[in-house]
Structure 1
Amino acid sequence: MKAFQVKAPHDYQVAEVDPPKVAAGEALVRVAFAGICGSDMHIIHGDNAFVRFPRITGHEFAGVVEAVGEGVADVAVGDRVCIDPVISCGECYPCRIGRPNVCSSLEVIGVHRDGGFEEFVAVPAANVHHLPEHIGLDAAALVEPYTIAANVLDRMQPHPGDRLMILGAGVIGLTILQMALAKGIEEVIVTDVINERLVAAKQLGATQVFNSREQDVEKEVLALTQGEGVPLIADAACVPALLPQMLRLASPAGRIGLLGFSVQPSELVQLEVIKKELTLVGSRLNNRKFPEVLKLMASGQLDPLALVSHRLPLSDMPSAIDMLDHRPEEARKVLIQISA
């Protein structure tokens, strides 16, 4: 079968590989669609500290169950499904307190074990989520990015009337925007350096957008909030140098959600944190958010296909990577069609 395999940083190709075997407790899924994520790009570039090579990447995918292993009762051949990539042990401290997404022995499909950029993938049956009838397999491949958004918003604990600021209008920034609106946050500020992304954010419901390369974002946001600052700030830009600005723009008692995996240090002025009693929270992957996202998607409160700019066959993965590397303004979510 065909798969997109990363053998080592900057060494990747669409290749013929052996089909996976289905173990007890697993389901074999014929992958229909898979989305390219920024973390896939980090793996390709050697910037992901967690990956084990060689690796078939892809953690955003949906398809149809082809076979099930011994002991699987709740998943059947022919089921239309999407997959939660988070595999946890269920026994360590994070798992015991309901935080399996930071399990001490965490595995992520597409990072620690092979993922969705292949014709067939074997996954734990416990990670399979059935699709409501009218959610297409293309839309279902985008459930996982929305779980990232749901997770960071949950970590920031919004209060009624809170205003949200999102740094970065890439795909994750736009999923946070849609999720925030679905959860009842009425005012959302979005910043980016690419105007095409800001246009998309405005179309999807952002109340204010600012190009941080062309405008003084601090001046604009503080004027907009009468000097108070913003209660909720989500860092979807994932640029360590932006943390001091986030601290200055956060309101007293504000919460800042961090999503980046950079190993570069950020400058943190402790006075800014203490005088406002700010809360900085990390958010990794998702903590059992698939049912919530599927429910919102089924109700029409989320529009995943609005994020899709390109649909390409698996054979075009190298050209898609080149576009995302060198012409990011041309792309939002790139969806790879693997089977019909």
Structure 2
Amino acid sequence: MKALVMTGVKKMEVQTDYPKPTPKPNEVLIHTAYAGICGTDKGLYNGLPGSADAVPPIVLGHENSGVVAAVGSAVTGFKPGDRVSIDPNIYCHNCFYCRTSRPEFCEHLDAVGVTRDGGFEEFFTAPAEVVYHIPDNVSLKAAAVIEPISCAMHAIDLLELHPYQNALIIGAGFEGILMGQILQSSGVREVTMAARNQKKLDMLHDKFGFQVVNNKTHPEDIKAESYDIVIEAVGLAATQEQAVEAARRGGQVLMFGVGNPDSTFTINSYKIFQKQLKIQGSFINPYTFEDSIGLLQSGDVDPLPLMSHELDLSEVEDFVSGKLTGVTKAIVKVGGENA
């Protein structure tokens, strides 16, 4: 079968004779329809860690949808022909964190498309426990990004939300826009998106009804101490510092953007005290897949207008290497809707 194999740091190759996997008793064999490309894939390609380390040779692709091709002997909830999406994170259920209801910190985390082969190939396997049926009104293309929706959903779950609140999201990448849609569906009073691309900001205002601020030409429009919720979705020191400044008294700051592992930013500890700020991180997506499927089914979250590039396997390296620019969300068509 055809697979895009990461053979080393900054090395990928399309192989046409890659062995087709056979499902173990508790596994499902999935014919890949679409696979999203995540910023984490860029990091893994460049030798950085994701939720776990990816050791070449490995097939990446942890945002996936497809159709069940076969099931293992112990699987009862799925059958060939079922349309599915896959939560890539496989928890051990036995470590300290799993046993204290914090599986995102699992000490033995396994992940489809990170520690085991993922969706940048025609067929892949996953334990049945992380495979989810998708509703008839959700396309396989939309279902491929349930995983990033679930990461956004976990982040929003960590916040305390009220209808009086206004929210600022710094960074209009795919995850930032998803979080904006989820906040709107959760009933907060107003969501403002701050970014540097005016064309994208105009689209976000017209399509989703966000208030918008150009953080390049008019950064002064982000007033200090003005927002109940501030989400930093860039991962740069300058925007992290801006997020803390923008939060009002009693506010919440969510640091969602993934920075360089060695980067730091300056913070005024007195302002944390004075404003009684809550500063929160967010890591992966524990148990938010069903909610994310519901958001797609209801239409409260619509990722399709954000999919700016549809690629084939041979084009993925152009994206993860940085040659392909201007991308809001890239998705790989493997088998497509007819998988």
TM-score by length of 2: 0.92
Identity of aligned residues (%): 32
Question: Amino acid of the residue matched to residue 253 of structure 2?
Answer: I
Q: Which residue of 2 aligns with 1:51?
A: 53
Residues 237-296 of structure 1: CA deviation (Å, up to 9, x unaligned): 111332222111111121111221521122222112121121111111112111111112
Residues 122-144 of structure 1: CA deviation (Å, up to 9, x unaligned): 10100000011121111110111
**Consecutive unaligned residues in structure 2, runs of 5 or more:** none
Among 158, 164, 175, the residue aligned to 2:161? 158
Question: Amino acid of the residue matched to residue 23 of structure 2?
Answer: V
Q: Cα 1:228–1:282, aligned 2, differ >3 Å: closer, same or farther?
A: closer
Among 40, 51, 62, the residue aligned to 2:65? 62
Q: Cα 1:266–1:105, aligned 2, differ >3 Å: closer, same or farther?
A: farther
Are 2:316 and 1:312 equivalent residues in the alignment?
no
Q: Which residue of 2 aligns with 1:12?
A: 12
Q: Which residue of 1 aligns with 2:118?
A: 115
Shift of 1:198: 1.8
Distance 2:209 2:324 in 1: 24
Among 312, 322, 333, the residue aligned to 1:337? 333
Q: Cα 1:332–1:189, aligned 2, differ >3 Å: closer, same or farther?
A: same
Given that 2:41 and 2:60 are in contact with CA atoms closer than 8 Å, whether structure 1 keeps it comes out as yes
Are 2:26 and 1:25 equivalent residues in the alignment?
yes
Q: Cα 1:52–1:321, aligned 2, differ >3 Å: closer, same or farther?
A: closer
RMSD (Å) for aligned C-alpha atoms:
1.8
SS state of the match for residue 245, structure 1?
helix
Pairing 1:71-110 to 2, within 5 Å after superposition: 71-110=74-113
**Consecutive unaligned residues in structure 1, runs of 5 or more:** none
Shift of 1:12: 1.2
Pairing 1:138-177 to 2, within 5 Å after superposition: 138-177=141-180
SS state of the match for residue 101, structure 2?
coil
Distance 1:247 1:63 in 2: 41
Runs of 4 or more, structure 1, over 6 Å off, are none
SS state of the match for residue 93, structure 1?
coil
Pairing 1:288-307 to 2, within 5 Å after superposition: 288-307=287-306
Given that 2:170 and 2:243 are in contact with CA atoms closer than 8 Å, whether structure 1 keeps it comes out as no
Given that 1:25 and 1:72 are in contact with CA atoms closer than 8 Å, whether structure 2 keeps it comes out as yes
Distance 1:304 1:243 in 2: 26
Given that 1:32 and 1:138 are in contact with CA atoms closer than 8 Å, whether structure 2 keeps it comes out as yes
Given that 2:213 and 2:222 are in contact with CA atoms closer than 8 Å, whether structure 1 keeps it comes out as no
Given that 1:244 and 1:269 are in contact with CA atoms closer than 8 Å, whether structure 2 keeps it comes out as no
**Greater shift in the superposed pair: 14-23 or 140-149:** 14-23
SS state of the match for residue 44, structure 2?
helix
TM-score by length of 1: 0.92
Question: Amino acid of the residue matched to residue 250 of structure 2?
Answer: A
Q: Which residue of 1 aligns with 2:229?
A: 232
**Greater shift in the superposed pair: 263-272 or 168-177:** 263-272
